[in-house]
Structure formats: structure tokens, C-alpha cells
Chains A and B, each alone.
Chain A
Amino acid sequence: MRSFMTAALLSCVALLTGCANLGVEPWERDLLAKPAMALNPDPIQSAYDDHIYFSKEASSGGRSFAGGGCGCN
């Protein structure tokens, strides 16, 4: 399972970087420029979620650094 997942996701990465025709011209960024389209549009909310799930689960990180910084786990 683990090696399959790794292979699948790494090939996605390779595919993405290999496709130089993916993407948009600078004037086509109107939708992407919206604040709500940022990958992390609400950092305070993400930090709250990260903190809650870090203290209730055995997993952390992925989107950003995995460290905890608090004594809750």
C-alpha cells in the first residue's frame, strides 16, 4: 500500500512538472488571484485545526511543518 501510494503521488508530481503546457497566461489569473483560491486562505483557521488534530490524533503536518510546539501530545 505504501509503495503504491508513493509511486502514484510521485508520478503525479513528475507529470505536473513535465507538462510545461499546463498553466495560464498572466492575464488569465483573474480567478486564481482571488484570496479564496489561495491554497491556505485562512492561516489562523488552519492553525486551529492543526492544533486540534495534533492533540487528538497521532498524525500531524503534511500541508506545513509537522512539529507541534505544544505539550499536548
Chain B
Amino acid sequence: MQLKKKHKKKAIRGALTTASCTLLGLSNVAQAENAPWQFDAGVLYYSETDRVQAIEPVVTGKKDFGDDRWLNLKLVVDLLTGASPNGATPTNTPQTFTRPSGKGSYTIDANETPLDDTFRDTRVAVSGSWDQPLGDQLKGSFGANFSTEHDFLSLGASASLAYDMNKRNTTLSAGVSFESDTIKPEGGVPTPFASMVPAGSAQPRDASDDTRTLVDLLFGVTQVINRNMVMQVNYGISTSSGYHTDPYKILSVVDGSTGATTDYVYEHRPDSRNKQSLYWQMKYHLTEDIIDLSYRYLWDDWGVTSHTLDATYRWDLGGAKYLEPHVRYYQQSAADFYRVFLIDGAPLPAEASADYRLAEFTGITLGLKYGTQIKGHDTSVRLEYLSQTGDSSPSEAIGVLQDQDLYPDLKALMLQFRYTF
């Protein structure tokens, strides 16, 4: 048995003292003041078959200012191109529509869902929040956000509180948020139910812009059930007033017997909306894997009710690698004022919209995510497929419309990359 260094003994005490201090957290107070920023980035590629395409890079940064106080910042850039349904029904003849600017028009072939392809935009949004403890068991979070695109501006602020009890097994939370939106449509705000006029003529416009405000309240309880399981239940109530209409969407006015299109009119939605939701989520840790299940039930005074069921299974592959299949099921009922089309000569309703997003439909998403660590940094890639289907042959279809696909099904692919650094 040999012992090295029989003669000169190395002085290790200094290094050992430093190591012990680190272990006991004695120098941590000083370190927190200089804690570095932690960044998290992602990019999303979104692509609908023949319709909208988007690229959305996001970067967030957070910094610990000591004593559990954090500053979070986020920057989002959203680049959109492509075409979106304008609300008119397809019919057996080609159709020509005036662009929202009033300076041009576009023609759609017969039997094709009318898509407005002037839909291209770049959006930039920044948001920040400050989290800090407000008491022994109380934490507060205060945030502000700002988003701008060429026809829309949004400013918002929020505050929320979280209170821990039962040895941090139960957390009660409450939050409020305000948002003020300014809508400045290209070409101006259209007059409700005004007929569409050809390009070049004076367009039926009411104003150059309009506004709406939203107030949101959220109450929640998070409860640790046992060593493997945690649950959350939230109740949300939201009220908004102001301009809710989509200024680019129209409705087809069709003949009551033949179903042929006779006119296009701009849509009009109510000037207020009250939504409520109940949300439940559960996470369960198996031996190595994790199950995530959530359900949301939403209802509002527009007549929309929806169910959202979401399930994710995190399959741990060892060594920080995982595979996560994901399924989402969504079902909504139509808004009271949703119309597939309007009938020529019939009295106009107070509000009407043919926006397919207010119709009755079912959406299914299937996805798979793969995560790993590269040089100690979490990174992941996710592929998702969304399919929305509605009633293509509703019972109210008349005449030529009975041969048309009256619900523009949506199929979209999403590819997302994430990296933490």
C-alpha cells in the first residue's frame, strides 16, 4: 500500500473552506444578486393546407433578484402569410370580392371556399412580469403586455396572488387582468350589414378605427393529493365590451329558393361578451412517466359552449430524454348569431356572422414531442396535427348550396423547436 506525496503536503484548506461554504449556502446571498439571466427560446412553424402559414419565434428571459424576486421578459414575433375564409359560401359560379382596402379585388373559382389572401401581417409583442413574495405564504405577480400589428394594438396589465397553506399542499390563487384593444382595419371599419361595393367606388365605412376593453378574473385552487399527484381547479370569468366584429368578414346573401348568391354584406357581432369557464387539471407521476390530464368547460352569453379535453403522456427514456404523445379533443356549439348565409328579403338579425370559428365544430389534435438535453440545456421538438371538422351540409342549405361544402374544414401542421440556455 503506497501513499503518494510522502514529503510535501499540499495545502487544500482554502479550497476546502470555499467548498464547505458553498455546500452550506453561506455565500449564496451574495450570489443571488449577480444571478445570470436564464433564457428560453422557441420557434413555431404553423401551416394550414392551402391557407394560413405562420412563423413565430419567441424568446423569454428571467432573472433572480434574490429573496425569490423574479423579473420575466418575453418577446414574440409573429409572421403571418396566406389566406383565410372570408365568410362567404362557395357557390356554383365564380365569385369576385373587393379587398378590405377597397382598392382591389380577387376572384374565386366556382365550387371553391372563398379565401381572402390579403391576410399577411407581422406582429410584435412584448410582455413582462415581476414576481415577488408579499408575506410568509403569499406571492404576488404583476405584469404588463403590449402587442402591435398593422391593424391592431393591444395594451394590458395583470396582477395575481397565490397563497400557500397546509404545508404548501394547498395553494389558493386569484388574478385580474385588463386589456385595451384598438382595431384599425385596413380600409376602415365597415358599416354593419352594408353591401359590398366593387373596388374603386366609395366603400361603406363608419370610422377608421374602434376599440374594446376586456376584464378577466381567475380563481384557482391547487392541491397536492399525494406524493405522485397534484390537481388544479380554476374558475374564470371574463367580460369584454366594444368592437368584437371581424372587419374583414362578410356573409353571403342568397336567394330563398335557388340558393344563388345575390349580395355580400359585412358581418356584425354584439358589442359585449361575457364568458365563464371551469378548468380542471391533474398530473400523476407513475414510476418514471407522467400523465397530464385536463378538462375545460366554457360558456358565454353568445351561446357558445365548449368542451376541451387534453391528455399528455410523458414517456421517460432515461438520461433526460423523453417522448411525449399528446391528444386534444375540442368541441364547441355555434354562437347564437352564427349564420351560414343570410336569405335575401328576410329581416336582418341584430347580429350575424359566418365566421367558421363561431360555428359548431369538433377539433382533434394529435402530437408527439421529443425532448433531450444538449450540453446540459433542455431542448425539444414537437410535431402536432390539428383537424377541425364541422357540418359541411347543414340542414338549412338551399338549392345550389346543397351541393357545396359549407364548412371549411381546417387541417394544420405545427412544428415547434424549443431551447433553454
Q: Which residues of A contact B (CB under 8 A)?
A: 1-2, 5-6, 9-10, 12-13, 16-17, 20, 22-26, 28-32, 34, 36-37, 39, 42-45, 47-48, 51-53, 55-59, 61-71, 73
Contact = CB atoms under 8 A, between A and B. Distances in A.
Given A17-B223, A68-B181, A71-B181, 11 more contacts: A9-B235, A9-B280, A12-B233, A32-B230, A36-B290, A47-B58, A52-B46, A67-B179, A68-B179, A71-B149, A71-B152
B357 A58 contact: yes
B294 A61 contact: no
Contacts of A34: 285
B216 A16 contact: no
B336 to A, nearest CB: 12
Interface residues of B, number: 88
A67 B271 CA distance: 16
Contact of A45 (B154, B221, B382): B382
A58 B283 contact: no
A36 B313 CA distance: 11
B260 interface: no
A9 B275 contact: no
Main secondary structure of the interface of B (DSSP, over half): strand
Contacts of A61: 216, 218, 236, 238, 275, 277, 298
B337 to A, nearest CB: 12
A57 B169 CA distance: 35
A70 to B, nearest CB: 6
A5 B278 contact: yes
B167 interface: yes
Contact of A23 (B147, B151, B170, B216): B170
Contacts of B233: 9, 12-13, 16
B44 interface: yes
Chain B CB within 10 A, most for which of A10, A47, A56: A56
Interface stretch (B88-96, B105-113, B304-312): B304-312
Nearest to A25: B167
A9 to B, nearest CB: 5
A31 B285 contact: yes
Contacts of A73: 246, 357
Interface in B320-370: 322, 330, 332, 335, 357-358, 363
B255 interface: no
Given A48-B416, A62-B298, A53 B330 contact: yes
